[in-house]
Homo-oligomer: A and B are copies of this chain.
């Protein structure tokens, strides 16, 4: 096992009605004037907005609002937020929403203390954003999936070709996150299931790295994967199943809290996210859906291209899907097949074609995916390999 540092800076307040701690906890972290950021306004329909305002008012906290943050949030929203925060003398950021709102707010938190354009906030060759300070941030999660509520990263869309770029720094971990499973009751089925696919992918991207005997991390990871597989479908059956919503929400947070399942393991390049982001850029496709579309093809490619890592895929099949097959190759393939069944059960599109991707775009997507270098860890993915995976995922 490699050396590592385990640090979980975010406190989570989990459960029904936890919003009651909002005002006092913001004050604990020195907040007095809050930039309140949210998305398209669904929180005004489902009552969450009113609940937030009530708590802020009760604690005598002033606020400025930034609304309209879009899915796949753009740098322009970040710039608007930075400007609002500075002009109004805010000292705290409260993100209310899903991963997109949270990610935009992390970039805003970095930007308000940054002497330079927001486009310089992205990670450099050190793997971190070049920042030395950030505004304190808290989140109220309304959609489970991205894990942004418990990690230090954000993905921001830039430019006319919708390039996705990463902002990442330990200073950007939320001070606290309020996780009320009831807030996710009204999330539409499609987005709930895309969130589950996203969680599962975060777990898999940390699982499928070179085997370094980091067994505690991998075994805990397998446990969380099992829960996602079991409970996502319960939400399909009953969107108001509190325990299922709670388990999926907590799975989202555990999947990325301190990247705890990656500790002591070689850092992967998150190849599925790398490829998926290009699909989202070109088609504005929901993030989690792109991951579900690509994962089986990526697994089969890796098993074939790097057979020395077959035991990891066989272990996945046995420990996550309880497959009893003794032959590694057969077990691994059965694992992929079961994963495909899961994606079908949660109503993900069967292949890229069904999802509206044009075959003639695949080569362009592959090129963009490796623009900043090869992807992959178990098997290195250049443009040719990514194109193979995309073609396999095109027909499913």
Contact = CB atoms under 8 A, between A and B. Distances in A.
Main secondary structure on A side of the interface with B = helix
Given A222-B223, A223-B223, A264-B15, A215 B2 contact: no
A6 interface: yes
Contacts of A17: 3
B219 A227 contact: yes
Interface string A235-248: 00000001100110
Contacts of A131: none
A193 interface: no
Contacts of A364: none
Interface residues of A, number: 43
A215 to B, nearest CB: 5
B14 A5 contact: yes
A223 B242 CA distance: 24
A247 B4 contact: no
A6 B1 contact: no
A155 to B, nearest CB: 24
B230 A224 contact: no
Contact of A247 (B3, B11, B216): B216
Given A222-B223, A224-B216, A247-B216, A5 B1 contact: no
A353 to B, nearest CB: 35
Contacts of A5: 11-14
Interface string A1-26: 11111111001111111100000000
B15 A7 contact: no
Nearest to A244: B213
Contact of A219 (B16, B218, B226, B263): B226
A11 B3 contact: no
Contacts of A253: 6
11 contacts: A1-B243, A4-B14, A5-B14, A6-B12, A6-B14, A8-B8, A8-B258, A14-B263, A216-B224, A216-B254, A246-B264
Interface of A: 1-8, 11-18, 213-224, 226-227, 230-231, 242-243, 246-247, 250-251, 253-254, 258, 263-264
